[in-house]
C-alpha cells in the first residue's frame, strides 16, 4: 500500500489546468505534515509540455500515453485508473470539480467501492491523518465537513481557487510509464469533435474574477461596457437567467441554480436583483460587489461592498479608473 496523495492531471491541448496545480500545492502541504508522497496521474498523448510543468509539483508522475485517452472519455479512463489505484492503493485521490472530474470521480468511486466528496471548496488533514473535505450545501448557505470511513482512496473533486498555487514547488517527479488497460470493446462513447466557444475568456467556473450583468443592462448591445470592464480586469463575463431567456447571452455564462456555480475571488454584479436562484451560484465567491439602482435589492444582502446607483454611470467610470491605476503599476 503506497499511502500516497494522488491528483488526476487534467489538461487541454497539452496545457495543465490551474486547478491541478492548486491541488498539487495542497498535496505538498499535506505531505510535509504526514510524510506521504505526492503523485500525479497523467493520461493522454503528446504530453511532454504537461509532464514538464508538473515535474516540480510531485514526487511521481504516472504517465499513461495512448491516443485513446485524447479526448477524455470515462470509458477509456475508468479501467486504466481503477487498475492503477488497485495496484498502488493511494490514500487520497483528488481531481478538479470540472466536467471531467464530475463525470469520472463518482463512476470511479462506485467502481472502487470507496467514499467520494464532490464539488469541495476546501480540504484539510485531521489529527488522525484522515482527509476532511469541506463542501457547500444549499448553494453555499451552509458547509458540511466530511471525513471518510476506512475505504480507500479518500476521493474528492475540488472547485477552483480553494488553494493558492505554490510559487516555489520543491519536488522533482520521477516519471513512471504505465501501460494503459484499454479494452476496445468497452469504448462505447466516441467524441466526434469540439466546438470552441467564441472569445478567448476563461470559463466563468475557472476565472478568478467574474463580472456579470443582469436585466438591468436593458439591451444586449449594452454588455459592451461590461466586456470592457472585464477586459480591464482580465475577468470573465457572467449573467443571469433573465438575460439568457431574453436571448441576450449564452447559457454557458449563466450563474445560478439552473446555471453554473462559480468560486471567483471577486464577483461583481451589475443590475442583478439577487434572486435566490441566482445567488445560489455565488455562495463560495470570496468577495462580492453589487451595483443596483434599487437600494432594497436582495443582492445587497449577499454583497461585501454595494453601491446603490446606475450601472451606466458606474461601470464606465470604474473601467477608466481601473485602466488608469493598473497602467501606472
Ligand atoms: C427553477 C428556476 C431556476 C432559475 N435558475 C436561475 C439561475 O440559474 N440563474 C439566475 O440568474 N436566475 C435563475 N432563475 C430566475 C431568477 O428567479 C430571477 O428571475 C433572475 O435571476 C432575475 O434576473 P435579473 O437579476 O437579471 O433580473 P431582475 O430580477 O429583473 O433584476 C434586474 C435588476 O436590475 C436593476 N436595475 C435596473 N436598471 C438598472 C441600472 N441602470 N443600474 C443598476 N441596476 C439597475 C433593478 O433594480 C433590478 O434589481 C431561475 C428561476 C426559476 C424559477
pLDDT of residue 200: 66
Contact between residue 160 and residue 19 where contact means Cβ atoms under 8 Å apart? yes
What's the average model confidence in pLDDT over 80-85? 95
- Residue ranges, CATH 3.40.50.620, the chain: 5-186
pLDDT of residue 127: 81
What's the average model confidence in pLDDT over 184-210? 83
Model-level pTM? 0.79
pLDDT of residue 1: 58
Give, in words, the CATH class of 5-186.
alpha beta
Give the ranges where 184-297 is alpha helix by DSSP (H).
Answer: 223-233, 241-245, 276-279
Give, in words, the CATH class of 209-327.
alpha beta
Q: What are residue 121's phi and psi, to 5 degrees?
A: -115, 0
pLDDT over 70 at 198, yes or no: no
Q: What is the pLDDT of residues 275-305, one digit of tens each?
A: 999 998 998 899 999 999 999 999 999 999 9
Quickly state the pLDDT bin for 93 (edges 50, 70, 90).
very high
* Protein residue with its CA nearest to atom 48 in ligand 1: 273
Q: 225: helix, coil or strand?
A: helix
pLDDT of residue 199: 65
CB distance 260 to ligand 1 below 6 Å: no
pLDDT of residue 24: 98
* Protein residue with its CA nearest to atom 40 in ligand 1: 310
pLDDT of residue 172: 97
- Please state, in angstroms and rounded to a whole number, the distance separating the CA atoms of residues 54 and 42: 9
Instruction: Tell me the CA distances in angstroms from 110 to 106, 113, 115, 189, one per residue in order.
Output: 6, 5, 8, 19
- Residue ranges, CATH 3.40.50.1220, the chain: 209-327
CB distance 271 to ligand 1 below 6 Å: yes
pLDDT over 70 at 243, yes or no: yes
Question: For the chain, what is the mean pLDDT?
Answer: 93
CB distance 313 to ligand 1 below 6 Å: no
Q: What is the pLDDT of residues 116-173, one digit of tens each?
A: 999 998 999 988 889 999 998 876 778 899 999 999 999 999 988 888 889 899 999 9
* Protein residue with its CA nearest to atom 7 in ligand 1: 256
Omega cis (within 30) before 99: no
What's the average model confidence in pLDDT over 26-37? 94
Contact between residue 125 and residue 131 where contact means Cβ atoms under 8 Å apart? yes
Q: How much of the chain, in percent, has pLDDT values that exceed 90?
A: 76
Q: What is the pLDDT of residues 251-277, one digit of tens each?
A: 999 999 888 888 899 999 999 999 999
What's the average model confidence in pLDDT over 57-84? 94
pLDDT over 70 at 54, yes or no: yes
C-alpha cell at 309: 446607483
Instruction: Tell me the CA distances in angstroms from 216 to 108, 237, 260, 272, one per residue in order.
Output: 44, 15, 20, 6
Q: 211: helix, coil or strand?
A: strand
C-alpha cell at 136: 457547500
Instruction: Tell me the CA distances in angstroms from 7 to 188, 202, 216, one per residue in order.
Output: 26, 22, 42
Q: 80: helix, coil or strand?
A: helix
Amino acid at each position: 500500500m503506497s499511502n500516497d496523495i494522488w491528483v488526476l492531471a487534467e489538461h487541454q491541448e497539452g496545457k495543465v489546468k490551474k486547478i491541478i496545480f492548486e491541488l498539487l500545492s495542497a498535496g505538498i502541504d499535506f505531505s510535509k505534515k504526514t510524510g506521504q508522497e505526492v503523485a500525479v496521474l497523467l493520461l493522454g498523448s503528446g504530453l511532454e509540455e504537461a509532464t514538464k510543468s508538473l515535474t516540480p509539483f510531485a514526487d511521481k508522475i504516472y504517465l499513461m500515453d495512448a491516443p485513446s485517452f485524447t479526448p477524455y472519455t470515462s470509458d477509456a479512463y475508468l479501467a486504466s485508473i481503477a487498475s492503477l489505484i488497485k495496484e498502488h492503493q493511494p490514500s487520497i485521490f483528488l481531481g478538479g470539480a470540472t466536467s471531467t472530474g464530475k463525470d469520472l470521480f463518482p463512476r470511479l468511486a462506485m467502481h472502487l467501492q470507496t467514499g467520494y466528496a464532490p464539488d469541495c471548496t476546501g480540504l484539510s488533514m485531521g489529527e488522525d491523518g484522515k482527509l476532511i473535505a469541506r463542501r457547500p450545501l444549499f448553494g453555499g448557505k451552509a458547509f458540511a465537513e466530511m471525513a471518510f470511513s476506512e475505504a480507500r482512496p479518500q476521493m474528492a473533486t475540488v472547485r477552483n481557487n480553494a488553494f493558492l498555487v505554490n510559487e516555489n514547488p520543491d519536488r522533482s517527479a520521477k516519471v513512471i510509464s504505465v501501460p494503459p488497460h484499454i479494452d476496445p470493446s468497452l469504448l462505447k462513447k466516441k467524441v466526434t469533435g469540439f466546438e470552441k466557444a467564441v472569445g478567448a475568456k476563461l470559463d466563468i467556473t475557472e476565472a478568478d474574477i467574474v463580472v456579470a450583468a443582469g436585466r438591468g443592462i436593458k439591451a444586449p448591445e449594452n454588455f459592451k461596457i461590461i466586456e470592457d470592464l472585464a477586459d480591464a480586469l482580465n475577468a470573465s463575463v457572467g449573467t443571469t437567467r433573465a438575460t439568457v431567456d431574453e436571448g441576450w447571452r449564452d447559457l454557458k455564462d449563466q450563474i445560478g441554480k439552473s446555471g453554473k456555480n462559480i468560486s471567483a475571488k471577486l464577483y461583481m454584479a451589475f443590475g442583478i436583483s439577487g434572486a435566490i436562484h441566482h445567488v445560489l451560484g455565488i455562495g463560495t465567491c470570496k468577495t462580492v460587489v453589487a451595483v443596483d439602482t434599487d437600494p432594497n435589492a436582495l443582492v445587497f444582502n449577499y454583497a461585501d461592498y454595494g453601491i446603490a446607483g446606475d450601472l451606466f454611470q458606474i461601470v464606465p467610470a470604474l473601467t477608466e479608473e481601473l485602466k488608469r491605476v493598473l497602467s501606472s503599476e
